[in-house]
Homo-oligomer: A and B are copies of this chain.
Amino acid sequence: MALEHAILVSLRERSGTGYELARRFDKSIGFFWSASHQQIYRTLKRMVDLGWVTVTEVTQHGRPDKKVYEVGDGGLDELRRWLTQPGEPAAVRMELGLKLRGASFGDTDAVLAEIVSHRDQHAERLDVYRVFEKRDFPDPATLSGQRLHQYLVLRGGIRAEQALLDWCDEVIHAMKRDRR
């Protein structure tokens, strides 16, 4: 599984609490790997047992105490091991494709309406990514190392959303034409 590795990458960039990790998985990391806070807490516990991360309890004033996690030597070893170990290319999972394929057994217009709605959501995400791109990486040609890698991951998100958006538009166009 990769959640451990997602956590290792994120904690390596900056140490933090389970709560903070959950926030990150709603934002940057979450653009290409999602996880709920329950899953994160459970996994952090397991990672402590494995010796991959160390935990420090921090007493706070005015808010609940927290546990700050850091990547230990075992975690670094595992990170490096995972990075060199090849994996399978991602299997595409398009629920909308499934619905489209089944559309003629039900309400074709309802499926079309859902595709229109998804189209708009992809357009919105794409806008968000484009803003990040302009704001955080105004001059991509000068990037190097970790910063370059971050930029390239964002480029992947942009390409994925753009492809989904274009596909939705193609489907909407073709289905509207077919309805006439």
Interface, chain A (partner B; CB < 8 A) = 2, 5-6, 8-9, 12-13, 29, 31-34, 76, 79-80, 82-84, 86-87, 89-107, 110-111, 114, 117-118, 121-122, 143-146, 148-150, 152-153, 155-157, 159-164, 166-167, 170-171, 174-175, 178
How many Å lie between the Cα of A114 and that of B150 in the bound state?
Answer: 17
Asked if B174 and A102 sit within 8 Å, CB to CB, the answer is: no
User: Closest Cβ of chain B: how far from A105's Cβ, in Å?
Assistant: 5
Q: Can you name 6 A-B pairs with beta carbons within 8 Å?
A: A82-B106, A100-B149, A100-B152, A103-B149, A156-B167, A163-B163
Determine the main DSSP class of A at the interface with B: helix
Which B residues lie within 8 Å of A2 (CB)?
Answer: 95, 98
Q: Which 6 A-B pairs have the closest CB atoms?
A: A163-B163, A83-B106, A9-B102, A80-B106, A32-B97, A32-B94
Distance between Cα atoms of A156 and B148 in the complex (Å): 29
